Amino acid sequence: MKLKLTFLAAALLLGACAHAPAPGSVKAAPEPLEADGACALNSRDLAASRACAVRDAERGAVSRVAGLYLDEAVRAERSAVLESNLLNNPHLYVARYKTLSDGPDGGYYRVRIKAWIYHGRIASELRALNLAGPSAAAPRAAFVQRGEAAPVFAAAFREAFIKRSAVSIEEFPFASAPALAAGDQTALLDAAAASGADLLIAVSASVSAVGAGVSTGFYPSRADASVKVYDAPSGKIILDLASQANGIDSTEAGSFSKALAAAGELLAQETAARAGRLLKPDAALKLKVYGLEGLEILEKLKAQLLKLEVNDLRLESYSAGTAVFQAAPERPDPQEFASAVLRVDSLGLELEGAGGQEVAFSLPR
């Protein structure tokens, strides 16, 4: 799977918002999936050992279903979020289970279960956590303020930027290290790349008085601000912008605060707008597959689709045997993409249609 700089950076323009669940996803009927589990054997309490093994099997089943919706990079980089949420309470996503086999095996108690999984509930939860759906495809940005500290400016920039962008500004440890923020740009970029960030947003701001307020009772001021947005892995600069804003208040401190806040908001707005004009996202195609008989077949389908040369592939929804994927191939030609899907197919897919921005297949029963 390849991820283009153009695809990452273009998400700067996308409006950030809460993403609604895919139609019918939460109400989708649970579907069965077989899973194995194991736990250290406590010979004095076999019931506890069995319960532990069942929970492990449930975790495995929930993890596999979550993996259907997750981008590989997102899953690797944000595994802690998955662990502390869905995998911490796997029973919430299991309607029921049937024990297929169980018993002591050496130093372990092992079980194999058939669990009916609320896959729609899992998909909805992943979207709420920004692990799946459109927001998960957006780049993760580290935010660093260089030069003189200006918390009012930084807060205003972040708030305005988040409102206008799908970029996820996350708290990377290196970004709060004063030595790195004040040091060499190369070291800062190296730290950003090593942290797993896709983008580095480096801002700076200063403020000064532009007139005395002794005679008038008001203190005018001006803030100068700048931002540089880098592609963290390559170190390439994407945007380099600057702006000014004025402030006035009955106190100098209040005036400075207003000027910095205004500068932060204006600069954030310009950053999102300029990104949209300069960068273009990859064209996406919708891939629909009908007639899937269960989650295990869906797993096999996604596995073979991952062999395609695409810049992005994600499962958008799955319900009643129909899976809908979003894919960004090198060339957004539906006929060409349909042929590529058939070349990697081992399930027996039949082409139903290819045109516009959509390709449809069915899997005969």
Instruction: Note the pLDDT tens digit of each residue in 220-275.
Output: 999 999 999 998 888 899 999 999 999 999 999 999 999 999 999 999 999 887 76
Of 219, 221, 218, 260, which is closest to residue 243 (Cα–Cα)?
Answer: 260
For the chain, the residue count is 365
Given a contact cutoff of 8 angstroms between Cβ atoms, the answer to whether 362 and 342 are in contact is no
Least confident interval from 32-46, 133-147, 190-204, 345-359? 133-147
Reply yes or no on whether the pLDDT at 16 is more than 60: no
- CATH number, residue 236: 3.40.50.10610
Which residues is 225 bridged to in the sheet? 205, 243
Report yes or no on 78 lying in a domain.
yes
Q: Are residues 173 and 227 in the same domain?
A: yes
Which pTM does this prediction carry?
0.63
Which residues is 142 bridged to in the sheet? 170, 200
Reply yes or no on whether the pLDDT at 40 is more than 70: yes
Q: Are residues 149 and 242 in the same domain?
A: yes
What's the distance, Cα to Cα, between the start and end of the chain in Å?
30
Outline where DSSP puts E strands in 320-349: 322-329
Report yes or no on 3 lying in a domain.
no
Q: Are residues 107 and 179 in the same domain?
A: no
**What backbone torsions phi and psi does residue 111 show, to the nearest 5 degrees?**
-135, 155
Which of 132, 148, 183 delimits the end of a domain? 132
Range of the domain at 320: 285-362
Sequence-distant (≥ 6) Cβ neighbours of residue 252 within 8 angstroms: 209, 213, 219, 221
Domain tally, the chain: 3
Which of 116, 132, 148 delimits the end of a domain? 132
The whole-angstrom separation of Cα 66 and Cα 86 is 9
Report yes or no on 290 lying in a domain.
yes
**What backbone torsions phi and psi does residue 334 show, to the nearest 5 degrees?**
-60, -40
The whole-angstrom separation of Cα 36 and Cα 49 is 14
Q: Are residues 153 and 81 in the same domain?
A: no
pLDDT score of 322: 94
Outline where DSSP puts E strands in the chain: 31-40, 94-105, 108-117, 140-145, 168-170, 199-209, 219-231, 237-249, 285-290, 310-319, 322-329, 350-355, 358-362
Given a contact cutoff of 8 angstroms between Cβ atoms, the answer to whether 217 and 276 are in contact is no
Q: Are residues 57 and 115 in the same domain?
A: yes
Q: Are residues 250 and 154 in the same domain?
A: yes
Given a contact cutoff of 8 angstroms between Cβ atoms, the answer to whether 117 and 31 are in contact is yes
* Identity of the residue numbered 78: R
The whole-angstrom separation of Cα 92 and Cα 245 is 51
pLDDT score of 213: 59
The whole-angstrom separation of Cα 194 and Cα 232 is 9
Report yes or no on 10 lying in a domain.
no
The whole-angstrom separation of Cα 13 and Cα 272 is 5
Q: Are residues 199 and 291 in the same domain?
A: no
Report yes or no on 13 lying in a domain.
no
The whole-angstrom separation of Cα 123 and Cα 139 is 20
For the chain, state the CA radius of gyration.
26
Reply yes or no on whether the pLDDT at 214 is more than 70: no
Helix (H, G, I), strand (E, B) or coil at 256: helix
Confidence of residue 49 (pLDDT cuts 50, 70, 90): very high
Token pair, residue 285, equals 């195609």
The whole-angstrom separation of Cα 225 and Cα 61 is 50
Report yes or no on 38 lying in a domain.
yes
Sequence-distant (≥ 6) Cβ neighbours of residue 302 within 8 angstroms: 68, 315, 325
pLDDT score of 26: 52
Least confident interval from 201-205, 245-249, 270-274, 286-290? 270-274
pLDDT score of 365: 79
Q: Are residues 196 and 291 in the same domain?
A: no
Which of 77, 97, 132 delimits the end of a domain? 132
Q: What angle do CA 343, 344, 347 make, to 5 degrees?
A: 110
Report yes or no on 14 lying in a domain.
no
Q: Are residues 162 and 272 in the same domain?
A: yes
Report yes or no on 4 lying in a domain.
no
Q: Are residues 161 and 209 in the same domain?
A: yes
pLDDT score of 6: 40
* Identity of the residue numbered 145: Q
Q: Are residues 253 and 150 in the same domain?
A: yes
| Dihedral (Cα; 101, 102, 105, 109), 10-degree rounding | 140
Q: Are residues 119 and 171 in the same domain?
A: no
- CATH number, residue 99: 3.30.1660.40
The whole-angstrom separation of Cα 202 and Cα 240 is 10
- Count the neighbouring beta carbons within 10 Å of the beta carbon of residue 3: 17
Token pair, residue 34, equals 């077989």
Instruction: Note the pLDDT tens digit of each residue in 149-185.
Output: 889 999 999 999 888 876 778 888 888 888 887 888 8
The whole-angstrom separation of Cα 253 and Cα 258 is 9
Which residues is 202 bridged to in the sheet? 144, 228
